[in-house]
Amino acid sequence: MFLRPADPVGLVWRPITRNDLDEVSALLTAIELVDQPTERHSVAELGQTYEETDADTAHNSLVGRDAAGTVVAYGWNHPISSDISPRRVFLAGGVHPDHRGRGIGRALLEWQLERGRHWYRATLQDDFGSLQLTAYVDETLSAQRRLYERAGLSPLRWYADMTLELGGALPDVQVPAGVRIVPFNRKYSEAVRQAHNEAFAELWGAQPVDAVRWEQQLAHSSARPQWSWVALDGRTSEVVGYAINSSYEQDSAARGVSEGWTDRIGVRPGWRGRGIANALLCASMRSFADAGLAAAGLGVDSDSPSGALRLYRRLGYEATETLVMYARTEDIAADG
């Protein structure tokens, strides 16, 4: 494995340390000003990502500094160690707008792909599937998309962000017979995680979320368990559905609208088609409105056969931006 990107500019590359996070944040601010991506960073989230169990930033990340010592590029791989098949590595990175078109991004991405392969080989077990190198990008960012395509990543999936204004009268929460809709509470967390893994088991690209990642995500600064809802079997109190909500204030600020965000919604297979998701979304809207927010948002796989898109449209959600998932799948031997 090569230790640094072969960039033609000769930047000085080092793994990201905690002390670099403010400078990485400044770089991201400069990038976001020009690119106007749907998803923005926050300093708090950078810190949390840095602390995550899988992070290993000493091996999975780099910042590139110019001769003056200014951070002008970064690359950060996020491998999911609990994945079985495929073994996913999410690629994040960026080059300062003033330093683009000089081969930095291309060299950095090559390093990230190579680093992903290295992680894959180092962690390989008999029952593991292929390596999947994955990146998400706004549909409108054509230079970044070209970069991925040149590196052999293909556009596989399109995710629509959808939003609904909460200004008017909110729909009633119509609770289906035999079900109770209750506020999310820590005591349901593990049962909700299991319901989530069951609800998503058949969905394209989904893999079980393990308890560590689940709890980390619920502890994120953006998580809003207090605006989240659980559907219980009225008889046994078993968890049958859930809506886990968040607040991405930096994204809302960029869009100029305060929005509550439904991160995860699912209903266990045996309980579908009776209005449970409908009720969970209506309850979420009420939580957002009570918190003084102006809109409710969520993201949906545009090609999902689950009928989710139709359900959201019926409730009044409208599509806004689109994110494209790029990926490259590789079969690599342990000693390859």
Q: What is the largest CA-CA distance in the chain?
A: 67
Minimum gap (Å) between residue 42 Cβ and ligand COA: 23
* Of 27 and 231, CB closest to ligand COA: 231
Considering the rule CB under 6 A, would residue 77 count as an interface residue with ligand COA? no
Considering the rule CB under 6 A, would residue 183 count as an interface residue with ligand COA? no
Considering the rule CB under 6 A, would residue 308 count as an interface residue with ligand COA? yes
Per-residue contact track with ligand COA, 202 to 241, x per CB under 6 A?
-x--------------------------------------
**Residues between 259 and 288 with contacts to ligand COA, criterion CB under 6 A:** 265-267, 272-278
Window of 3-11, 101-109, 146-154, 308-316 that interacts with ligand COA by CB under 6 A = 308-316
- Distance between CA 112 and CA 89 in Å, rounded? 10
Considering the rule CB under 6 A, would residue 199 count as an interface residue with ligand COA? yes
The alpha carbon dihedral of 52, 57, 61, 65 has a sign of positive
Between the two ends of the chain, the Cα-to-Cα distance in Å is 11
Window of 18-26, 127-135, 220-228, 304-312 that interacts with ligand COA by CB under 6 A = 304-312
Considering the rule CB under 6 A, would residue 300 count as an interface residue with ligand COA? yes
Q: Which residues bind ligand COA (CB under 6 A)?
A: 174, 176, 199-200, 203, 265-267, 272-278, 300, 304, 306-308, 310-311, 314
